[in-house]
Amino acid sequence: MKSFMKAILSAAVLVGALAAGSPSTSLASDIRIIAVVHGQASDPWWSVVKNGISEAAEANDVTVEYRAPETFDMVAMAQLIDAAVNQEPDGIMVSIPDADALGPSIQKAVQAGIPVISLNSGSDVYESLGALLHVGQEEYTAGLAAGKALKEAGGSKGLCINHEVGNVALDTRCQGFADGFEGEVVVLPTTNDPSEVKAKVKAALESDPDLDTALGLSASLAGEQIVSAVDELGRAGEIKIGSFDLSGDYLESVRDGAALFAIDQQPYLQGFLPVQLLALNAKYGVMPATAIGSGPNLITKDKANQVIDLASKGIR
């Protein structure tokens, strides 16, 4: 990833130098990009994506609009993509949690000649829909890594707390977890209300004493709540805990040994890189040839201190 970033930045400097002697296809200040994603910027995880988008927009002197449905609503999200296509931007960046629901709208953008980059979810379908590139992690691989790590820690029966059942990316994480864990896994559906997550996790652990493992699919929405529920039940040290993504409080639990790991998919890069690449494409017609893997990276106790401060600042 570091070498790729260096290559991107070097290419930008080189092309910028060459462009000094010839006009570019678009002036940076005229470039307009629309981001349509399934997560609201008020969500702690998506706020990091938004931070990456904002900083990339400023760095490249382009305009980027962030749009998302008020809730996890694929009909509303498809309508937002359709509206973006009608506005004829220089590029669209889009998450793809449900290819069946969003595919036709994404294909409309492609057919209209609008460059599309997918981010976060959609690594397995972006090519078939005509998107140029994907920035994110392979969710099944990440879930598999989590399952293997929790199995190695001694887990035998686990919970996968899914706060957006129907989001293909999250469903795939749970499947990967189950396959890597090789023990019994129960999927616990919740909303994205942290208080509900905590209550349901607590009830599940109380009702089934054989449960000894819990995986959250979001550190702020689930990871922190799992740690709190386990502590209130007096079972700290008994339940093996892992979570996708990062938050300052959850990372402190990893550092202190209350949780085993966090899976970092680097949401800042998922916001920053599509803007950077669509801006370069609009100006110079350049685009990488392959998808960019932003994760998974397992943050364990020995690494937690390095990222706690940045997570609290909305960068990691």
Residues 1-22: pLDDT tens digits? 444 444 444 444 444 443 433 3
Are 183 and 146 contacting, i.e. CB atoms less than 8 angstroms apart? no
* Domains in the chain: boundaries: 2-136+266-285, 139-264
Among 25-34, 39-48, 302-311, which stretch is predicted with the lowest mean pLDDT?
Answer: 25-34
Question: Is the pLDDT assigned to residue 295 strictly greater than 70?
Answer: yes
CA 270 to chain centre: 7
With b for 16 or more beta-carbon neighbours within 10 A and e for fewer, the 183-222 pattern comes to eebebbebebebeebbebbbebbeeeeebbbbbbbbbbbb
Tell me the mean pLDDT in the region 281-292: 94
Coil/strand/helix, residue 216:
strand
Are 270 and 52 contacting, i.e. CB atoms less than 8 angstroms apart? yes
The pLDDT of residue 11: 45
CATH superfamily name and code, 139-264: Response regulator (3.40.50.2300)
CATH superfamily name and code, 2-136+266-285: Response regulator (3.40.50.2300)
* DSSP summary character for residue 289: S
Per residue in 157-192, pLDDT (tens digit) is 999 999 988 888 899 999 999 999 999 999 999 998
Per residue in 226-256, pLDDT (tens digit) is 999 999 999 999 999 999 999 889 999 999 9
Nearest to 248 by CA among 295, 309, 315: 309
Segment holding 33, helix H or strand E: strand 32-36
Per residue in 65-100, pLDDT (tens digit) is 999 999 889 999 999 999 999 999 999 999 999 999
Same topology, domains 2-136+266-285 and 139-264? Answer is yes
Chain-wide mean pLDDT for the chain? 89
Which pLDDT band holds residue 27 (cuts at 50, 70, 90)? low
Residues found in the chain: 316
The pLDDT of residue 4: 44
* DSSP summary character for residue 92: E
Which pLDDT band holds residue 39 (cuts at 50, 70, 90)? confident
Question: Is the pLDDT assigned to residue 205 strictly greater than 70?
Answer: yes
